[in-house]
Chain A
Amino acid sequence: MDIGTTVAAILTLAIYSFLYRDNPFYKVAEHLLLGVSVGYFLVTTIVTTIMPKLFIPVFANGELSYLVPGILGALMFLRFSRKLSPYSRIPLALIIGVGSGVAIPAYMQAQLIAQLKTTMLPLDDISNIIIIAAVVSVLMYFYFSREHKGLTGAGAKAGMYFLMVFFGSTFGYTVMARVSLLIGRMQFLLGDWLGIIK
């Protein structure tokens, strides 16, 4: 058993101690995790973004066009100046605009057109009938312009049941995956650290 394993095991137990209540061990582990992760991401950003996408192109290859995003990024730091802080909104506006531009066509493609196509199934199979009934009724559930009464209400109610079935199944499925994570951690504590199990 090396020192690294022991440190990892103690930190695991410190985090698990939160299950009892907030305590100094948890606070130490929490702040350590936070500090280490911020440091790690800072270094990762420098190594994977700032160096290859700004410094090397500009200073080593002389590609000055890379200065444009560099300057826009630097504008973000104007937030710390009371006088110049409005200029920090320029890159934010760009991020929101570009973000929407990237996200909306992707949504239209993946969430609407592709799903619509795969739902246009022939009514020759009970599974297909259930899929189509679920899609139509869930659409009715998310119809906001009318109160859920009468035919709309019946459709919406059916939609709600379909949604609940979906949530139940995803819950069970994901819990199963989380239990396997817990088993992994237990194997680490009891096997790698204490050597009780192999």
Chain B
Amino acid sequence: MKTLSILFALIILFLPSGAFAVVQAFDTPNDGGLSITIQWDTAAYSNSSGEYYEAQIARRAASESGWQDIAVAPASAGEYIDNTVEDYTDYVYRLVFTDKVSGSLIYDTEPVHSSPQYFNTRRTNVLIGIVVCLGVLIFFIYRGKKGKEMYVRPIAGLLAIEEAVGRATELGKPILYSAGRGGMQRVATIASMNILNTVAKKTAEYNIPLIFPNNDPVVAALAQEVVKESYSEVGHPDRYVEDDIFYLTDSQFGYAAAVDGIMVRRQPATNLFMGTFEAESLILAETGNSIGAIQIAGTDSTIQLSFFIVACDYVLIGEEYFAASGYLSKDPMVLSSLKGQDLLKVAIGIILAIGVLLATAGYTGFLELFNIG
């Protein structure tokens, strides 16, 4: 009996017992559910002469009795994520650690269930960024509402829009507007609709046809609404022609071919390319150039900007494009939001300067604030 007790004590002494106290299963954090993470302490296994090399993982629903093998992981992995679970069902996991002489140790976890999280805590910095930006913009819009005078420097491309509309009026030719290939989920398309609002008011006043071929049916429907409302706002709803704002096709080059055809046949005096553009940008701008139209482009597609610069008369580069709606409408509330954006740029410059100085001094802790999970 005494011998058995000593033997048992020796077994207990040489087992990596500390390891099994830290095997745990938990709902995978910051996800959309359907996932449970099982973790174990790898150090304990490597300390034990590297004997335990494999963890067989089995699972059962807490309300059932039969185990189902789901995976075999190296003991050194320390973690296994089970993505085959159902939300809100309790599961118990069994980990069987096998050693090189076929010995094994078994550990059962506490029941655990998965569920989706409504907030990803690893993206708290994104939330803070949005709240700060919105706060600054709301503050400036509030100031704008009070009627504070605000200066915005002249932007050549935007000043040219007035000139381009005037030219179309003189020549008695239409204006062609294109929002490129972006859907309504693109910020550039939303900005394009704001610019369209101002352009449509001008075409309504001067009674010039506004042709707007679309690549997306939703954008086409929205553009019709925007233009219709603009025409009504300036008191010329009768001048609105619904058939001039139409959907063509989703196909990129089908759209390019059709817009090229429209350009050479209807000979617009002005082409406005405002939105998201891809490889069709140069095809459109070159054709517009060949018919002698005055061309103004604005996009956030950085690669395409170089093509527009080559073939267009004026180009709104990046931020200038987003500033356009405020600048064109002269609406103090929209202009004040532009001021807010400028303040945010200064803030970004200051944060950047702090980060660069700290990185130069060898401190990287500040950078971790910008980690996104």
Closest 9 pairs (CB-CB, A-B): A120-B355, A37-B251, A117-B370, A99-B185, A171-B306, A37-B254, A167-B306, A142-B319, A122-B359
- Confirm or deny: A7 has a beta carbon within 8 angstroms of a beta carbon on chain B: no
Given A33-B254, A104-B130, A109-B126, 8 additional A-B pairs, CB 8 A: A38-B249, A38-B251, A92-B218, A113-B125, A120-B366, A146-B151, A170-B303, A171-B306
Q: Are B318 and A147 in contact (CB under 8 A)?
A: no
Interface class of chain A by DSSP: helix
- Confirm or deny: A95 has a beta carbon within 8 angstroms of a beta carbon on chain B: yes
Q: In the assembly, what is the distance between CA of A108 and CA of B359, in Å?
A: 22
| Contact flag A95-B218 (CB < 8 Å), given A37-B251, A114-B370, A163-B317 | yes
Give the interface segment out of B93-101, B109-117, B203-211, B258-266. Answer: B258-266
Q: How far is the CB of B170 from chain A (nearest CB, A)?
A: 25
- Confirm or deny: B152 has a beta carbon within 8 angstroms of a beta carbon on chain A: yes
Chain A interface residue bracket vs B: 35 or more
Interface class of chain B by DSSP: helix
Q: Which residues in B have some Cβ–Cβ distance to A below 8 Å? A: 123, 125-126, 129-130, 133, 150-153, 155, 183-187, 190, 218, 221-222, 224-225, 248-251, 253-254, 257-258, 260-261, 264-265, 279, 282, 302-303, 305-307, 309-310, 317-320, 323, 338-339, 341-342, 345-346, 348-349, 351-352, 355-356, 358-360, 362, 366-367, 370-372
Q: In the assembly, what is the distance between CA of A178 and CA of B250, in Å?
A: 21
A194: chain B residues within 8 A (beta carbon): none
A50: chain B residues within 8 A (beta carbon): none
Q: In the assembly, what is the distance between CA of A41 and CA of B372, in Å?
A: 37
Question: Please, could you name 26 A-B residue pairs with CB atoms under 8 Å apart, sorted by A?
Answer: A30-B261, A34-B249, A34-B254, A34-B258, A38-B249, A76-B218, A88-B221, A92-B222, A103-B185, A103-B186, A107-B187, A108-B126, A109-B126, A112-B348, A114-B372, A116-B348, A122-B359, A122-B360, A123-B360, A136-B349, A142-B345, A144-B342, A166-B302, A171-B306, A174-B303, A178-B282
> Across the two chains, which residue of chain B brings its CB closest to A92?
B222
A109: chain B residues within 8 A (beta carbon): 123, 126, 372
- Confirm or deny: A2 has a beta carbon within 8 angstroms of a beta carbon on chain B: no
Q: In the assembly, what is the distance between CA of A147 and CA of B260, in Å?
A: 38
- Confirm or deny: A148 has a beta carbon within 8 angstroms of a beta carbon on chain B: yes
> Across the two chains, which residue of chain B brings its CB closest to A103?
B187
Q: In the assembly, what is the distance between CA of A136 and CA of B346, in Å?
A: 10
| Interface positions of A from 119 to 178, Cβ below 8 Å from B | 119-124, 132, 135-136, 139, 142-148, 163, 166-168, 170-171, 174, 178
- B222, B257, B282, B367 pick with most chain A CB within 10 angstroms: B257
Q: Are B225 and A89 in contact (CB under 8 A)?
A: yes
Q: How far is the CB of A113 from chain B (nearest CB, A)?
A: 5
Q: Are A117 and B367 in contact (CB under 8 A)?
A: yes
Give the interface segment out of A21-29, A58-66, A182-190. Answer: A21-29
Q: Which residues in A have some Cβ–Cβ distance to B below 8 Å? A: 15, 18, 21-22, 26-27, 29-30, 33-34, 36-38, 40-41, 76, 79, 88-89, 92, 95-96, 98-100, 102-105, 107-109, 112-114, 116-117, 119-124, 132, 135-136, 139, 142-148, 163, 166-168, 170-171, 174, 178
B362: chain A residues within 8 A (beta carbon): 122
**Which of B133, B221, B306, B310 contacts A79, CB < 8 Å?**
B221
> Across the two chains, which residue of chain A brings its CB closest to B318?
A142
Q: Are A120 and B356 in contact (CB under 8 A)?
A: yes
**Which of A108, A124, A142 contacts B133, CB < 8 Å?**
A108
Q: In the assembly, what is the distance between CA of A121 and CA of B183, in Å?
A: 35
Q: In the assembly, what is the distance between CA of A119 and CA of B303, in Å?
A: 20
> Across the two chains, which residue of chain A brings its CB closest to B151?
A145
Q: Are A174 and B370 in contact (CB under 8 A)?
A: no
Q: Are B221 and A92 in contact (CB under 8 A)?
A: yes
B190: chain A residues within 8 A (beta carbon): 96, 99-100, 103
> Across the two chains, which residue of chain A brings its CB closest to B253?
A33
**Which of A107, A124, A148 contacts B153, CB < 8 Å?**
A148
Q: How far is the CB of A12 from chain B (nearest CB, A)?
A: 12
| Contact flag A170-B302 (CB < 8 Å), given A34-B257, A108-B130 | yes
Q: In the assembly, what is the distance between CA of A166 and CA of B302, in Å?
A: 9
Q: Are A146 and B218 in contact (CB under 8 A)?
A: no
B126: chain A residues within 8 A (beta carbon): 105, 108-109, 113
Q: Are B153 and A92 in contact (CB under 8 A)?
A: no
Q: Are A139 and B306 in contact (CB under 8 A)?
A: no
Q: How far is the CB of A76 from chain B (nearest CB, A)?
A: 6
